[in-house]
Amino acid sequence: MPYVTTDDGAEIYYTDWGSGGTPVLLSHGWPLSSDAWAAAALYLAEHGHRVVAHDRRGHGRSSRTWDGNEMDTYADDLACLVETLDLRDLTLVGHSTGGGEVVRYVGRHGTERVARVVLVSAVSPLMLRTDDNPGGLPIEVFDQIRAGEKADRAQLYRDLADGPFFGHNRAGDVDQGFRDAFWLQSMACGHRAAYECIAAFSATDFRPDLAKVDVPALVIHGDDDQIVPYDVGGARSVELLADARLLTYPGSGHALPDTDRDRLHADLLAFIDA
């Protein structure tokens, strides 16, 4: 299996599909792996693009490091991957935590290699409620997730998959296969990495990073997102980007790469090929 090795010795697993066309890099959500993007990767590769997707450190098949489970290191790991594969004219696509990862990459490494950015149900600009972010979510929300991770992570992932992640607690069923895949990928994430990443996705302030995005951006968010509420995520991020367009998916939840697959794939391809 292909890996790149970071400066601190972490092994970052990745897939690299397709050839020709402009490259696309897909960054996944917590506590999943690049498998969460498998359908999109296949679709974009079949439509002529080189598609790279990695497992964030601590997640999936990458090293379960004790240190570095925070956004700066995630972004530097991403830079290691981008530079090792010499990706240029690149489209960065991030779902949920992956959205934060790709904008922190831009904040730390610029857009010399980046042509466009896509944020899907992204955690940017800042999920946590603070004095200067009064519209955010209270710390108790994330403390509850941390408590669940420590007490019984296997059940936490069942509860998320059967409830707010896919919107299974709303009207209509979500396929058992999607929920099983969420649980399986989540259990492959290291315990410390999963625990530390809760702080990374909730408390990292991406507002300065969004201000540095000087390439076209597409923001996609469901207006019934129960993990990153629409007004906390997509609607706010697009206000902080210089050249961005917001696509709102009415009635859709957080897991757009699964629940809104066909529409998302078409919107991604149209933006990349524009």
Q: Report residue 75 as tokens.
A: 């972004």
Q: Binning pLDDT at 50, 70 and 90, where does residue 20 land?
A: confident
Catalytic residues: 96, 225, 254
Number of Cβ atoms within 10 Å of the Cβ of 11: 15
Which phi and psi angles does 22 have, rounded to 5°? -85, 145
Domain of 265, in residue numbers: 3-127+136-273
Residues in the chain: 274
Which phi and psi angles does 66 have, rounded to 5°? -75, -40
Q: What is the pLDDT of residue 224?
A: 97
Q: Binning pLDDT at 50, 70 and 90, where does residue 21 land?
A: confident
Q: Number of folded domains in the chain? A: 1
d(CA 72, CA 109): 11
Q: What is the pLDDT of residues 51-103, one digit of tens each?
A: 999 999 999 999 999 999 999 999 999 999 999 999 999 999 999 999 999 99
The CATH number of residue 59's host domain is 3.40.50.1820
d(CA 66, CA 274): 42
